[in-house]
Amino acid sequence: MNLYRAALALIVAPSLLLAVSYAQTATPPQPSAHNAIVNGYQSQWWKEAVVYQVYPRSFKDSNGDGIGDLPGITSKLDYLQKLGVKVIWLSPHFDSPNADNGYDIRDYRKVMTEFGTMADFDALLAGIKQRHMRLIIDLVVNHSSDEHKWFVESRSSKDSPYRDYYIWRPGKPNTASPTGFDPPNNYPSFFSGSAWQYDSGTKEYYLHYFAVKQPDLNWDNPKVRAEVFDLMKFWLDKGVDGFRMDVIPLISKRAGLPDLTPEELKNVGNAYANGPHMHEYLQEMNRNVMAKYDVMTVGEALGISLQQTPSIVDDRRHELNMIFNFDAIRINREGRQWKSWTLPEFKAIYAEHASKLDVHSWDTVFLSNHDNPRLVSSFGDDSPAFRVASAKLLATMLLSLRGTPFIYQGDELGMTNYPFKAIGDFDDIEVKNAYKADVLTGKVSEQAYLANLRHMSRDNARTPMQWDGSSNGGFTTASKAWLAVNPNYKEINAKEELADPDSVYNYYRRMIALRDHTPALIYGDYKDLDPQNKAIFAYTRVLGPEKSLVILNLSSDPVSFSLSRGLKARAIVISNLPTAEKDLSNLKLRAWEARVYKLE
């Protein structure tokens, strides 16, 4: 089954793009620090901030149990402040049995025991605010854990007041099946097998798009929506600054839950997203919650195409501020299979974003997170000769393209994919379930499965942060971390990089500072200067008289490049390799060289 595929196929009816105007019953949003219009865009703090994602399990262990925790993050806030990031996105920190590393929540108002206490959370938040940074947390409300008290109640009886908090259906009678039933329809789970789980207590099935232990909440029940809005307010009233919303386009299910067609089964993400009430529920959430606070929201937009993006993020619709669109990050895969890609295809994605999203629809830029392999291993060249240069080039690109940039922990050090050798090296439920479904049934050879996972397993990004050259990279004092530390921690670690002015970390710092001080890199127009070039990515960001030119050689070979448009460089503002070249009609770029010029 092709799961998690980038949503490319759906074309939305133009009428959907027209803003539906919903009555604003709530208090108007508090104004942000400044409300200027810049190049047509309403300026906002979350458009100007660089966001850094922390995966708490793997960031820093403070108590020697091998698992990262909240006091560990607090101990590293100076490191993050020094880097210059203004917003931290914390992956789930809530009470969870960890079937999917916290994306299965048992209690939305409690901190995961391994991560610490609510007092630890409050201390973390206070430390972030003290340093003039902000915190967004993960809102995982398409599903909960099966150990959440709502589900425990829900499964206890068909008459439970919580029964309709989840999606229960009778099976299709089949005397040949061990339970006497087949699942209610042909929906597959993203984590292999059917999306339906039979429950012998009440002899019905419940829906779970992800793991069996992640039952989907029933958003059509107004009580569920009220519960979600309440828990959001609980955290906002503590002072958090917004949410990253997990698989939010999946919350509204199709009426009657009909079987998917064979075509739809090729990309279930698209089929599950964009249900009939999705916009209605997001607008209701906005009226009830977001409109009352100065927050930032970013939806993980599985199944949302670029064409559909304005229907969620257009600021006149009052839904979400931004979404993650997966077109760029998934360019290197077909379903779960790694595939090659070309630079012109990659650049076309950014050009299309610039042309389809107008001043009302703000974009995001990201090429890594906890669900994807390491940035430098996927989009750069992680061989010893080019790792540092290519990691810096990627920093230049992420921090100068259109949209709010998201950096994933460790990418600022140029951390790489892990050299996985055997299935036992993995932790991820997606990997383990697919191993059972595909390898143990003989559909895929073990060798091919592992070779592919080395490129694209989520565990590549989940290995612990490499803080120094001591045992386990300084992540933990335990003899063993919950997931093995990459053996390259002696060469790649924060301590070395902080001390080295030429490190990837210090390059990120400079590049973040440059973006902060260059409004053209935030609000400027974007133009790709050579879309067909197979090695060079060259673009301008222009805001009135302020013009930045970015030139990147995304190849491991030297390339000559000439810009014959009368463009004149005034100065080189940053480069990842020393250079003084200013004649734009005759440039010699070394492998993975990146430069930003100020133009006349």
Residues in 67-126 that interact with ligand NOJ by CB under 6 A: 100, 103
Q: Which is nearer to Ca ion, 66 or 519 (CB)?
A: 66
Q: What is the SS3 assignment for 16?
A: helix
Residues in CB range of 396: below 8 A, 6 or more apart: 511, 550, 552, 574, 576, 594, 595, 596
Q: How far is the CB of 303 from ligand NOJ (least distance, A)?
A: 12
Which does residue 103 touch among Ca ion, ligand NOJ, none (CB within 5 to 8 A, set by kind)?
ligand NOJ
- Least separation in angstroms between residue 483's CB and Ca ion is 13
Q: Does 67 bind Ca ion (CB under 5 A)?
A: yes
CA distance 111 to 115: 7
Q: Does 293 bind ligand NOJ (CB under 6 A)?
A: no
Residue 69 near which of Ca ion, ligand NOJ, none (CB within 5-8 Å, type-dependent): Ca ion
Between residues 139 and 291, which has the closer beta carbon with respect to ligand NOJ? 139
- The item of ligand NOJ, Ca ion, none sharing an interface with residue 65, based on CB under 5 to 8 Å by kind, is Ca ion
Which residues pair with residue 449 across a beta bridge? Answer: none
Residue 196 binding: pick among ligand NOJ, Ca ion, none (C-beta 5-8 Å cut-off by kind): none
- The residues in 429-468 that bind Ca ion, with binding defined as CB under 5 A, are none
The helix (run of H) or strand (run of E) holding residue 203 is none
Is residue 210 part of the contact set for ligand NOJ (CB under 6 A)? Answer: yes
Token couple for 291: 């409109």
3-class SS at 344?
A: helix
- Report the residue number, 75 or 433, with the smaller CB distance to Ca ion: 75
Which member of 22, 42, 65, 590 binds Ca ion (CB under 5 A)? 65
- According to the binding rule CB under 5 A, does residue 61 interact with Ca ion? yes
Cβ atoms 494, 505 nearer than 8 A? yes
Nearest to 114 by CA among 103, 127, 125, 101: 101
Residue 412 touches which member of Ca ion, ligand NOJ, none, C-beta under 5-8 Å by kind: none
Of 61, 114, 300, 427, the one binding ligand NOJ by CB under 6 A: 300
Which residues, numbered 367-426, are part of the site for Ca ion (CB under 5 A)? Answer: none
Cβ atoms of 599 and 571 within 8 Å: the answer is no
Residue listed under structure tokens 């698992």: 67
Among 2, 32, 43, 63, binds Ca ion (CB under 5 A): 63
Closer of 146 and 371 to ligand NOJ (Cβ): 371
Q: How far is the CB of 45 from ligand NOJ (least distance, A)?
A: 24
Contact 436, 192 (CB under 8 A): yes
Min separation Cβ 312 and ligand NOJ, Å: 17
Rounded to the nearest whole angstrom, what is the least distance from the CB of residue 63 to Ca ion in the complex? 5
Q: What angle do the packed helices 278-288 and 222-238 form, to 10 degrees?
A: 40
Of 69, 95, 120, 246, the active-site residue reads 246
Characterize the bridge pairing of strands 536-543 and 546-553: antiparallel
The entry of ligand NOJ, Ca ion, none that residue 61 binds, CB within 5 to 8 Å by partner kind? Ca ion
Residue 371 binds to ligand NOJ (criterion: CB under 6 A): yes
Closest separation between CB of residue 297 and ligand NOJ, Å? Answer: 15
Q: Which is nearer to Ca ion, 477 or 579 (CB)?
A: 477
Residue nearer to ligand NOJ on the CB measure, 84 or 249: 249
CB of 65 to Ca ion, least distance (A): 4
Token pair belonging to 549: 């030119």
**Cα→Cα distances 490→156, 466, 504, Å:** 52, 8, 15
Query: Which stretches within 446-561 are classed as H helix?
Result: 446-456, 459-462, 494-499, 504-516, 519-523
Does position 477 bind Ca ion by CB under 5 A?
no
Write the DSSP string, 158-195. TT-TTGGGB-EE--EE-TTSTTSEE-SS-PBPTTSSBS
The residues in 227-286 that bind ligand NOJ, with binding defined as CB under 6 A, are 246-247
Q: Which of 68, 98, 84, 182 is nearest to 429 (CA)?
A: 98
Active site residue 284: no
Catalytic site includes residue 300: yes
The DSSP element (H or E) to which 439 belongs, if any, is none
Sign of CA dihedral 284, 288, 291, 294: negative
Q: Which residues are catalytic?
A: 246, 300
Task: List contacts with Ca ion (CB under 5 A).
Answer: 61, 63, 65, 67, 69
Task: List contacts with ligand NOJ (CB under 6 A).
Answer: 100, 103, 140, 210, 246-247, 300, 370-371
